[in-house]
Amino acid sequence: MQNVKKIFLIAFSYIGAVIGAGFASGQEIMVFFIRFGTNGLWGILIAALLFMVTGAMLLWLVYQEALFDYQQLIFFICGKHLGCVLDVIITLFLWSGFAIMLAGSGAIAYEYLGVHRAWGIMFMALSVSIILMFGIRGVFTLNAVLIPCLLIIILVIGEHVFFTKGFTNCFSAGWGWTSVVKETWPGSTALYVGYNLLLVLAFLTSMGKEIESASMAMGGGMLGGMGLGIMAMILGMTMTAYFPEVSSCDVPMIKVAQEMGLIAGHIYAFVLWIAMLTTAVANIYGLTQRFFRKDQKQYRYGVIMLVILALPLSFLGFTKLITILYPALGYFGIFFLFLFFIRVFQYNTYQS
């Protein structure tokens, strides 16, 4: 029973590390999938399968080789020379990914509360700093409580849209919208999985000490990937039904939730902010484990320093950061994914 509980904690933390500003707001789904219409929904299904497989294999490898920060994992997969280059790239993108969470909080403050973006950004920065003073246990507790709530709310909104808009309308829109992502739907799917893989590496490796068996690692990764797939599919179908009305929104899912009434809009805005918080916490925690893992005092100073350094970038705006940084990160992610599968195959061959 204890193992099952731990598997769910790992799965919820995996989901929490991915389902941040871009995912839960619906912005990522619009950029990478919705413009392809029904093919985009196929892309979401393939992405879900890749999340399940890569999440399970990554956590299994972290457990097998006792890899407790993402530099160790990168060096194990890529070697020291190429690993040093990817280490720098991932570090910079983790930091910029945190800035995107801050910008997302600013977007909610502006679009939903009608206050200046700076208030949302500063409140998120302060919340992340406080939570990370309590370490990994605080992160686990946060995800265990909030991720199931977010899943339930997304299911309720999806059910409402299916009945009010008609199930077939969830497949019939989306073509003709342009995006900074220029690939075909398979290429866009690969980019989406690629950048999420790189952003989640740091947190998955930081959970290594919490994994007690290979089955726990595999189970947590598979369950987490499945949860991400279910959420992404519901978000994709829901926003397709409201396309193109939502295409001009920084946070399109709040607009969809508001169609159910003011209370639903309030609830989704709050839970969306929490989803951004879980990913922001995961990014900064992964970075601090990379640089300050062995010294608790330095760890706390590191948290504050990294949060402050990300503040200027966050003021560039939520949508602009997603459409520029995420596709660029995706290309590096595809390259790393290719090397990762090769290394795992070699590792299994050697072990057998």
pLDDT tens string, the chain, 352 residues long: the values are: 667 888 888 888 888 888 865 677 777 788 788 777 778 888 999 999 999 999 999 898 888 888 877 788 888 888 888 888 888 888 887 887 788 888 878 877 887 778 888 888 899 999 988 888 877 777 777 788 888 888 888 888 888 888 887 766 666 555 555 555 556 788 888 888 887 887 788 778 877 777 888 889 899 999 999 999 998 888 888 888 777 777 677 677 877 887 777 777 778 888 788 888 888 888 888 888 777 765 667 778 888 888 888 888 777 765 666 666 666 777 788 888 888 888 888 877 776 5
Whole-number pLDDT of residue 46? 94
Residues in the chain: 352
Residues 6+ apart with CB under 8 A from 309: 95
List the chain domain ranges.
2-351
Whole-number pLDDT of residue 176? 52
pTM for this predicted structure = 0.82
Whose tokens are 């900074």? That residue is 180
The answer to whether 254 and 236 have CB atoms below 8 angstroms apart is no
- Taking alpha carbons only, the member of 133, 102, 131, 88 closest to residue 290 is 88
Whole-number pLDDT of residue 222? 93
Q: How far apart are CA 331 and CA 265, in angstroms?
A: 35
Q: How far is CA 34 from CA 41, 80, 104, 179, 192, in A?
A: 7, 39, 20, 10, 13
Q: How far apart are CA 279 and CA 15, in angstroms?
A: 9
Tokens of 18: 């991915």
Quickly name the fold that domain 2-351 has. Answer: Hydantoin permease (1.10.4160)
Helices then strands, counting H and E runs in the chain, come out as: 14, 0
Q: How far apart are CA 140 and CA 165, in angstroms?
A: 37
